[in-house]
Amino acid sequence: MTVLDWRTAWAAVVVHPLFSVALTLIAFQLALMLYRRSGWLVLQPVMVGMLLVVGTLTLVDLDYARYREGASLVAMLLGPATVALAVPLHRHLKRIQQLFWPIVITLAVGGVLSVVLTLAIAWALGAQMPVLMSLAPKSATMPIAMLVAEQLGGLASLAAVFVMLTGVIGTALGPLLLRWAGVDHPAARGLSYGINAHAIGTARALEEGDECGAFAALGMSLLGILIALLLPFALG
């Protein structure tokens, strides 16, 4: 066989839909391994996996549309996974009932403040409309933020990156800021982690304790729903 034959064959393999599936699976597992071995919250599997995929696609010269088509087998499950978020939410039902009003008030005031402040600052510094619309749902957990951004005329992928950045920055600054503010109640710390740093913050909250973790998960899911329900109406 000549070199050219191998190249032609390689080109055919790259455009096979399973190439995209394999690339996604491998990138995810590598990213997960790196995250677990290092223990760094900054090395989010989604972010590292995404970087690996983008790097490989650039290297083998495959465009995103082609990749997305091939990997739709994987991405298709995102919808059912979003529906499944109702299950952990239902599990926290007792805690929601116990502290119903503190949770509702903090979520409403904190959630609105977070969205308004972010948009106001970014807008004042000259960010463009599609960027703002992708920035708006950044406090929601990623699948929700992506869906809402698209609904608002933003970009799902940009929203995903903002959610990751928010989680990483919020988790890095969180312990320090909460100490300054004199917040030591585990439920209050947890809810703030959940509202401001969603899944990554929830991981950090779980390290602080069970109650803290549960309230972070609660804050994350409830704010996600609130954003999904209200943001399209508020900005639409």
73-102: which residues touch another protein (CB under 8 A)? 74-75, 77-91, 93, 99, 101-102
How many other CB atoms are found less than 10 A from the CB of residue 109?
Answer: 10
Distance CA 184, CA 66 (A): 50
Q: Is 213 in the site for another protein (CB under 8 A)?
A: no
Restricting to residues 136-165, name those near another protein by CB under 8 A: 138, 142-144, 146-148, 150-151, 155-158, 160-162, 164-165
**Residue whose tokens read 């990623």:** 142
**Residue whose tokens read 């406090």:** 139
Helix (H), strand (E) at residue 42: none
Nearer to another protein, 11 or 121 (CB): 121
Question: Helices 156-180 and 142-152, interaxial angle, to 10°?
Answer: 130
Q: Is 205 in the site for another protein (CB under 8 A)?
A: no
Q: Is 126 in the site for another protein (CB under 8 A)?
A: yes
Q: Is 17 in the site for another protein (CB under 8 A)?
A: no
Nearer to another protein, 13 or 75 (CB): 75
Q: Is 54 in the site for another protein (CB under 8 A)?
A: yes
End-to-end CA distance of the chain: 60
